[in-house]
Chain A
């Protein structure tokens, strides 16, 4: 097993701030936009981005929710038992610009399921995607992110793990290779 750190410390923080500035460029004061983190790991990214945005835009309301996609996945009955997480969207998404967030964009299937799940809450004016890590050249579905923290070229046997200071004690993006 070989671990390679792709991003940590100050660079990690700068990446988040850069993503926030890009979001502000397109969404101004977020009065017509909402952030949705995809369960399980995308919610940490969405919470952190919302927190940073509130620091940059004091006094503005930044709405952020958590979306569970378990019931919308296309690998049900093709893998181990799926157990759902919480969905928490206590605001209206109808007519809003929704920015979906996930820590790693890989095959694109999670995002397809998330877009499907989102329709159950209404019809947003627009859906955008923000991914902290874009594992390029690995898509099964034609999905691309509008905002990307870092692009990574990796092979299928490798894993990309994003650690968060709130839950894992540090901010770090690690590429894990099985050396066997």
Chain B
């Protein structure tokens, strides 16, 4: 049976539409497993996975760890802040030391774009990119598209707007690539300073007016303002950003259709979206979190299943 066309999951750009469909179909099965009384399968009982996080993370690390444990893998966690990295050790040395302890797969988050690609060329283990700088976050894009598919039946033909800090977002790039692979129409919306100049070359529409974007779309994916990655001021104030690009219940109710609201988390409540939107029935934020475990189980299962 044909598996994934890639040995690592470094970015959506390495996947073809058949790979994404296979991941979705496998995640469908894992979602049923997660709804059983015993939410665990023995598939990866002989696999050891290291979660190496050079950047803070709560939900992604927890989601991967839970997915690994649900698959019965052995899991080791590594946080750079409390490791030899702070003593000056290189990335390759750090990972090779971990691999010398017979680790099969590495799930890595790193503040620099391309860190996963670099690592995949220097170590034997399979690498899963859990976010590399402002480059890609493939499992987030997969779970976002999976959640849209679950809610609307299909991704093809759907109109999705990604609102906010496109410039600093790894979620935005992976989402655009994934949604385009699956046949969706994609628009980005935000202040000019937060939209990269090259974005049109990815085949997406650009809109600076939130109301126009919301009237166009079926799904609004509201991104978090990445204040920690902004080295200069890209807009005058958070208050002004919220007034122009924040989504509240009043705006949502003024639309003549019911759109779906997504957010990759963590939410800055009252900035990108208000609490009443985040907690409304149009929001599928918690479905995204639930689907994250199933998608990560599928990715790990399919990668680990490749014969060495």
Contact = CB atoms under 8 A, between A and B. Distances in A.
Interface of A: 68, 70-73, 76-84, 86-87, 116, 119-122
A71 B46 contact: no
Nearest to A83: B1
B306 interface: yes
A76 B305 contact: yes
B199 to A, nearest CB: 36
Interface string B21-48: 0100110010011001110111110110
Contacts of A120: 33, 36-38, 40-41
9 contacts: A70-B29, A71-B42, A76-B44, A77-B46, A80-B1, A80-B3, A83-B25, A83-B26, A87-B32
Interface string B1-29: 11110000000000000000010011001
B42 A81 contact: no
A87 B304 CA distance: 22
Given A71-B41, A116-B42, A81 B304 contact: no
Given A77-B307, A80-B307, A122 B1 contact: no
B307 A83 contact: no
Nearest to B26: A84
List the 8 closest pairs (A to B, CB-CB), nearest first.
Answer: A81-B3, A71-B41, A120-B38, A84-B29, A71-B43, A83-B1, A120-B36, A81-B305
A82 B41 contact: no
A73 B45 CA distance: 11
Contacts of B305: 76-77, 81-82
Contact of A119 (B1, B38, B302, B307): B38
Nearest to A85: B29
Nearest to A120: B38
Nearest to A74: B42
A99 B47 CA distance: 33
Given A77-B304, A81-B2, A86 B37 contact: no
A4 to B, nearest CB: 28
B1 A81 contact: yes
Contacts of A119: 38
B307 A121 contact: no
B102 to A, nearest CB: 15
A86 B41 contact: no
Given A71-B33, A87-B32, A81 B26 contact: no
B91 to A, nearest CB: 27
Contacts of A79: 307
Nearest to A113: B42
Contacts of B307: 77-80
Contacts of B32: 87
Nearest to A122: B37
Contacts of A82: 1, 305
Most B C-beta atoms less than 10 A away, residue of A68, A70, A77, A119: A77
A121 B37 contact: yes
A81 B7 CA distance: 12
Contacts of B71: 71
A72 B42 contact: yes
Contacts of B4: 81
Contacts of B40: 120
Given A70-B43, A80-B1, A81-B306, 10 more contacts: A71-B41, A71-B301, A77-B46, A77-B47, A77-B305, A77-B308, A78-B307, A87-B32, A120-B37, A120-B40
Contacts of B302: 81
Interface in B117-162: none
Contacts of B3: 80-81, 83
Given A77-B307, A121-B36, A68 B46 contact: no
A120 to B, nearest CB: 4
A44 to B, nearest CB: 19
